[in-house]
């Protein structure tokens, strides 16, 4: 997807989800094309919005993903974001993914809203 298409999808995602943070996380997961997206990539999603030394924690990113999952569930897209690796209190997940058919469902919803 080119930069203009990506920007359009991000604007639509913002309008649907009501949050720049959730829209940018969703676009990072879409850019992953169904593959695992690690915590650092997710943390860098909107670095320009944070102070220079403000680095999100793993717990903070987990919370953001949880909020994004809830917002997608409210849009009729439940269980589309998958946790990669096992996740416990002592051992956090290694990342998240948006595999098929969930990725296609999210893209279709964004494109439908843009039209």
Count the helices and strands in the chain (H runs, E runs).
Answer: 5, 3
Task: Tell whether the torsion through CA atoms of 103, 109, 114 and 115 is positive or negative.
Answer: positive
pLDDT tens column, 48-64: 555 556 677 888 888 88
DSSP string, 46-80: TGGGS-TT----HHHHHHHHHHHHHHHHHTT-TT-
**Residue 98 host element (H or E):** none
Task: Decide if pLDDT at 90 tops 80.
Answer: no
Q: Identify the pLDDT of residue 86.
A: 67
Q: What percent of the chain has pLDDT over 70?
A: 84
Q: What is the CATH number of the domain that holds 36?
A: 1.10.10
Q: Identify the pLDDT of residue 89.
A: 56
Domain span including residue 36: 3-114
Q: Identify the pLDDT of residue 31.
A: 93
Task: Decide if pLDDT at 70 tops 90.
Answer: yes
> Count of domains in the chain?
1
């Amino acid at each position: 997807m080119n930069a203009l298409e990506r920007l359009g999808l991000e604007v639509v995602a913002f309008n649907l989800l009501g949050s720049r943070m959730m829209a940018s996380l969703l676009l990072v997961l879409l850019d992953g094309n169904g593959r695992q997206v690690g915590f650092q990539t997710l943390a860098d999603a909107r670095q320009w919005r944070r102070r220079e030394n403000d680095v999100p924690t793993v717990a903070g990113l987990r919370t953001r993903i949880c909020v994004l999952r809830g917002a997608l569930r409210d849009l009729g897209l439940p269980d589309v974001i998958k946790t990669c690796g096992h996740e416990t209190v002592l051992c956090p997940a290694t990342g998240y993914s948006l595999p098929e058919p969930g990725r296609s469902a999210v893209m279709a919803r964004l494109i439908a809203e843009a039209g």
